[in-house]
Amino acid sequence: MTANQSLPASLYLLAYNTRKNELAKKAWLDYLIRGAVLCELIIGGYLVEESRRPRAAANGQGARKPADPMLSWVLDELRGDPGLTWRRLLRQDAAQSLAAIEQRLAQQRLISAGPGGSVTGRVTATDPAAIESMQESVRAALTGQVDPAALAARDAALAALAAVVPLPTVISRREARQNAAALAALGDRAAEQTPALRSLIAQMRRTRGRSFSAAGPVR
């Protein structure tokens, strides 16, 4: 699913409705992209959890900066404020994270942006067939058609992130409720080697629950 793109870029493309030529869940997209950025850092070994809080890894691969400038920037934020909680880290600079991913996709010519060049304006995908193929793969995972054990951790994480709100381009809220067991299994698969992923996704789901109760994003 994510062979050629980072998790944030893949999640952005998952949110693209190829029939309407627009992004779904715009009000949530910056939050989801920020979550995907943190997932990328966790899977890469740069971000861990200590005492229920996110921490920059102190040794090994995490002691070096990621090659990706955006990941490096987010990791520097955490190092500059070690008191950040998962909730605050998810909210902090979420809009900037989204803008950075959108700019990168535009530079790669995977999307073209209309006036304003942001998600508030018109965005057109240049390869809708590839997006639809990825959406179908993620939908199969979310609806239990694929054994989570057969998925790479990154692919399981992508599917779990897509179900947080959820993205209607891959699964509806009703379907997500009906496939709760499959979603839980995907989360378990994603967090097998990186337990911090479990805490991150759990925080995102708690935020989503509060927001649905309030009929709008509450972060």
> Is pLDDT of 210 > 70?
no
Please, what is the Cα angle at 66 between 201 and 29, to 5 degrees? Answer: 40
Question: Each residue of 7-19: b (16+ CB within 10 Å) or e?
Answer: bbbbbbbbbbbbe
* pLDDT tens per residue across span 80-132: 888 899 999 999 888 899 999 999 999 899 998 766 655 556 789 999 999 99
How is residue 14 written in tokens? Answer: 């998952």
Quote the pTM value. 0.90
Percent of the chain at pLDDT exceeding 90: 63
How far apart (Å, rounded) are the C-alpha atoms in residues 168 and 67?
Answer: 32
Closest of 103, 69, 71, 38 to residue 112, by C-alpha: 103
| Domain parsing of the chain, residue ranges | 7-210
How is residue 174 written in tokens? Answer: 């009703």
How is residue 115 written in tokens? Answer: 């006036």
**What are the φ and ψ backbone dihedral angles of 182, each rounded to 5 degrees?**
-65, -40
